[in-house]
Amino acid sequence: HCNFHLRDEESMRDERFAKTLCRQLGIEYRKVDFDTLSYAKEKKVSVEMAARELRYDAFRQMKEEYAVPCGAWGRMPFLCFSR
C-alpha cells in the first residue's frame, strides 16, 4: 500500500482497508509511506506528479525485490504481492 499522507484520516482508512484485504486474501501486506508534499516542493513538481514518481519508484523496487517478471502500473489504491 502506498500512503501519500495527503488526506489525513481518509488516507489512514485506505491503509487499514488494504491491510485487512491482504489478511483476508492470505497474502503479505506491504506498506510504503511518502512525504509527498515535501517531495513535490523539493523537486518543484505538482503533488500529482510527485505521487506518481514516488509510486512508480516504489513499484520498481518491489518488482526487483520480488523478481516479478512484469509489473502492475497505473493508479491503484493498493498493491499486494504474494510470495
What pLDDT is attached to residue 77? 43
CA–CA distance, 33 with 21 (Å, rounded to integer): 18
In this prediction the pTM is 0.72
pLDDT tens string 11-59: 999 999 999 999 999 988 889 999 999 999 999 999 999 999 999 999 8
User: To which residue does cell 497505473 refer?
Assistant: 74
Residues in contact with 8: Cβ distance below 8 Å, sequence separation at least 6, in sequence order: none
Phi, psi of 56 (to 5 degrees): -65, -40
